[in-house]
Structure 1
Amino acid sequence: MERFAFVLHPLSLEDMQMVSPMVRYVPDFLLEYILKQKKPFTVSHITGVKSPHAEAEGWFVGCPLTAKQMVELPEEFVIDRIVETGKIAEELGAKILGLGAFTSIVGDAGVTIAERLNIAVTSGNSYTVATALEGTREAARLMGKDLRDAEVAIVGASGSIGSACARILSREVRHINLIARRIAPLEELAQELNGHGAATFSVSSDVKSCLHKADVVIAVTSAVDFIIDPADLKSGAVVCDVARPRNVSRNVSAQRNDVLVIEGGVIHVPGNVDFHFNFGFPPQTCFACMAETMILALEGRYENFTLGRNLVPSQIDTISGLAKKHGFTLAGFRNFEHAVTKEMIESIRENVKL
């Protein structure tokens, strides 16, 4: 039996209020103080992960800091708390630890955390990129778009996931607009990729002004609040929101019936998995970053796999191959805890024509 663990943390105070209704009566400042003082803990035991080649069990381990706290508190404090969470995974017998949400972003994106633990660590970002692109390609196809003629906007292009998406898509699309808060890294990335494929590049720090022309948007920033609103998007746009917390406002789907929004990387897990914890997904499914941790455990590859801010294309290919070997597949499209059906997509296409 192979063994893994995965770090969860509340994205916001609202997450805590959903888990424990009594928390709603606690003032925000006091709840933040309580979370800062609270020690990491075991959330649940994960059973039933089984491929044709191996079987695994695991644990969700909780780091009780919100995304906002991970950004605002001293980096050393946050890393110490994540390492404490990893130590619980070690004690449980896990041989690899996956870093969820902002725990994979803090500091040097997992490198220091891995150095301080005695088990392997991965951010899950390689499989996140692979599945986000797979889902985006399929969503574009269903919307009748030819990526070879498409203009793509990558919001958060200077990050590890965004830059990896740009590298891969540079061989598939007509134009890529690289968007992030700082221009210099974007210019370096555009210069690196110019001539590697058919795509041309532009760079910008202004999200709002860049999305009106984009046929496809991939959103993957580490912002703690929504940054994409209904008025920002072109009619017929396909938007893949990979970020956690989400980059795309819930109002986009509510107010724009001519725009397709999907979440990146919703994966069907082989076997009869029971997470014994409700994180908002249907049974038998999980985030791609969680899946990467399981895949590596099933394969017995207890090594630091995806760490740091420069994703290696060969690793993305490797994890994609291992996912297929062990029976992990895309689980259809979702948006804000709801399935996005082919009928809904067809309706969106019809609305674009109006």
Structure 2
Amino acid sequence: MFGLIGHSTSFDDAKEKAKGLGYEHIAKGDLDVWCSAPPQLVEHVNVVSAIGKRIEGAYIDSCFVPEMLGRFKTARRKVLNAMELAQKKGINITALGGFTSIIFENFNLLQNKQVRNTTLEWESFTTGNTHTAWVICRQLEINAPLIGIDLRKARVAVVGATGDIGSAVCRWLSERTGVAELLLVARQQKPLQDLQKDLGGGQILNLEEALPQADAIIWVASLPKTLEIDRSTLKNPCLMIDGGYPKNLDSKFNGSGIHVLKGGIVEFFTDIGWNMMELAAMDKPQRQMFACFAEAMLLEFEECHTNFSWGRNNITLQKMDFIGEASVRHGFSVLGLNEASLQAAIA
């Protein structure tokens, strides 16, 4: 069995979901009530892959909402409690989705293996970052040519280049895609210099320097709310892949010649018959999902019950090959630009 640990996109959405599930006492509570609410296994699902492999899965709502991010102890407890519930339910491999993965890494929850009387088995959990990195790279490779960008001549900026996903994307684009030049953007200089050395190339720039030079921009860092960018300084055409969470580039950049694509999202070949992706505001919630969630499904399809994506900078090209081949084989495709964007590019 595979498991998915997720959460609502906002407190208001969470209350609506709780009401729909019949948890009226929680739905009517304030944020303090929600802070003490335990995780809930809210849905079971059966999935059959494109090659006929059948698996069973479960969705666990951590009862975390983004409004809790400022409460360290609460955020930490929410993620660990959800992981404990997944393990107690006997789930073979569980993906940490949305902010649960970010909380796990940034708050270094590896130091908290004991949850009450349960010792968490790390090998039963995955961040899903390997599949996410592979999907983002394929989104660039497939969609850039459709709007007239030749990647062999293109400059590609990776914002958040030193993170787990960002560094994997950089390695793939450098060694497999063969982009003309990588523009490396991150907050800390030392990790950037280490990455540049590891790649054997790439130009280190700050955000303001990189954006006007880039034919394509991959965002794998959260976009600061206060960031203001003059869209007239960007190239035309310019492909932006929003690989951060939450996805909010549309409101900042979408416009003439600028094509914004939701990064790290895949679409299954047929309807799944679940409700869980309604929370994530997917265009096709019966088929589309975050690539990190799909990684748990793929590992279950492949009977590979291991913490496939775990820790920082452990994603190899070989792991990306494995999960990418499995993704295609079992019926997933990467999300592409919509028809309106493609028509605008042609015009």
SS of the aligned residue for 1:43 comes to strand
Partner of 1:185: 191
Distance (Å, rounded) in 2 between the aligned partners of 1:191 and 1:126: 22
Cα distance per residue 1:157-198 (max 9 Å; x no partner): 11111111111112311211111121221111112212xxxx
Partner of 1:315: 319
Q: How does the TM-score come out when normalised to structure 2?
A: 0.83
Report if the CA contact (8 A) 1:54-1:299 is conserved.
no
Report if the CA contact (8 A) 1:229-1:248 is conserved.
no
> What is the CA-CA distance between 1:229 and the residue it aligns to?
4.6
Q: 1:248 to 1:208 in 2, by over 3 A?
A: farther
Partner of 1:197: none
Distance (Å, rounded) in 2 between the aligned partners of 1:108 and 1:272: 32
- Return 160-169 or 108-117, whichever deviates more: 108-117
Distance (Å, rounded) in 2 between the aligned partners of 1:36 and 1:89: 19
- How do 1:88-167 residues align onto structure 2 when only pairs under 5 Å count? 88-108=85-105, 112=110, 116-118=119-121, 120-167=124-171
Report if the CA contact (8 A) 2:250-2:260 is conserved.
no
Structure 1: state its 5+ residue gaps: 23-29, 195-199, 334-339
Report if the CA contact (8 A) 2:76-2:109 is conserved.
no
SS of the aligned residue for 1:83 comes to helix
CA RMSD of the aligned region, Å? 2.8
Distance (Å, rounded) in 2 between the aligned partners of 1:259 and 1:252: 7
SS of the aligned residue for 1:274 comes to coil
Distance (Å, rounded) in 2 between the aligned partners of 1:47 and 1:114: 32
Distance (Å, rounded) in 2 between the aligned partners of 1:98 and 1:263: 20
- How do 1:1-354 residues align onto structure 2 when only pairs under 5 Å count? 3-13=1-11, 15-16=13-14, 19=17, 31-67=30-66, 69-70=68-69, 72-74=70-72, 77-108=74-105, 112=110, 116-118=119-121, 120-171=124-175, 172-194=178-200, 200-204=201-205, 206-222=206-222, 225=225, 227=227, 229=229, 231=231, 233-253=234-254, 256-270=255-269, 272-277=271-276, 278=278, 279-281=280-282, 282=284, 283-310=286-313, 311-333=315-337, 340-341=338-339, 343-350=340-347
Distance (Å, rounded) in 2 between the aligned partners of 1:233 and 1:39: 46
> What is the CA-CA distance between 1:85 and the residue it aligns to?
0.5
Report if the CA contact (8 A) 2:159-2:186 is conserved.
yes
Distance (Å, rounded) in 2 between the aligned partners of 1:100 and 1:90: 16
- Return 138-147 or 82-91, whichever deviates more: 82-91
Distance (Å, rounded) in 1 between the aligned partners of 2:329 and 2:149: 30
Distance (Å, rounded) in 1 between the aligned partners of 2:298 and 2:43: 19
Report if the CA contact (8 A) 1:114-1:121 is conserved.
no
Report if the CA contact (8 A) 2:163-2:312 is conserved.
yes
Q: 1:16 to 1:43 in 2, by over 3 A?
A: same
Q: 1:331 to 1:139 in 2, by over 3 A?
A: closer
> What is the CA-CA distance between 1:290 and the residue it aligns to?
1.1
Report if the CA contact (8 A) 2:146-2:342 is conserved.
yes
Q: 1:317 to 1:114 in 2, by over 3 A?
A: farther
Q: 1:21 to 1:83 in 2, by over 3 A?
A: closer
Distance (Å, rounded) in 1 between the aligned partners of 2:305 and 2:334: 24
> What is the CA-CA distance between 1:220 and the residue it aligns to?
0.6
Report if the CA contact (8 A) 1:214-1:237 is conserved.
yes
Partner of 2:24: none
